[in-house]
Amino acid sequence: MIHGVVHYSVMLAVCFCYRLYVILYHTACLRTTILIALASYLPTFTVFTWYTQSTFYDPATAKKHLAQLGPSYVFDQGELVTGVANVLEPSVLGAIIWGCGVGAPVYVIIIEVSRRISRKLTKNLVHMSERTRNSHKEIMKGLLLQACLPALYTFSCGTYVAGQLNLVHSVAIEYITHTAGDFCVSISPFLTLYFVKPYRR
């Protein structure tokens, strides 16, 4: 989830900022774009690498703990089951905070930048051709729809927190926690294909 949904949200904010930069100034050179992409990936990479250093249960211990929670957990013979031993371990807490806490600041950035882009597009009628303006508007529509997708991720965070606080124990809820986030990431490319005209043709 750290790599999928969370980094997807961060990249959306970067895409909005890049679109604003292109409208205000010019297209950045390839080298700058690559450096921006790498810099935006650095926090996710750092958190993920730190998380892999956490203490994990071996499969037998994890199955034993899950069996105590209820009989609804049924495992196949060769199925790998594991989990972190302590959610209060700093590396795990860091991953949880990064996973659940990045959404709000990212949305604030997306909303503010999209407002500035909309203002600039309506103001800049003289300096921009109709075709360029329409192209920017189409891309913005696609980006805004993509930005709405991670709102489903707040549901994932809620179900995760409910599980961690022992409010709910259900296999279905645990699947929903991951599936809602995966849905956001999987549908995003289709929105890009639809709203970016060269891909549509």
Predicted local confidence at residue 111, as pLDDT: 83
Distances (CA, A) of 69 to 5, 34, 79, 82, 131: 28, 47, 18, 15, 60
Residue 37 identity (one-letter amino acid) = A
- Segment 148-197, tens digit of pLDDT: 776 777 777 788 788 777 787 777 777 777 777 677 777 877 877 777 76
* Closest C-alpha among 4, 9, 183, 3 to residue 109: 9
Distance, in Å, from the CA atom of 57 to the CA atom of 8, rounded to the nearest integer, reads: 28
Distances (CA, A) of 113 to 14, 104, 149, 153, 161: 10, 14, 17, 21, 30
Q: What pTM value is reported for the model? A: 0.68
Q: Give percent of the chain above pLDDT 70.
A: 89
As a whole number, mean pLDDT of residues 12-20 equals 87
Predicted local confidence at residue 126, as pLDDT: 57
- Segment 52-106, tens digit of pLDDT: 999 888 888 888 877 776 666 677 777 777 788 888 899 988 988 888 788 788 8
Predicted local confidence at residue 25, as pLDDT: 86
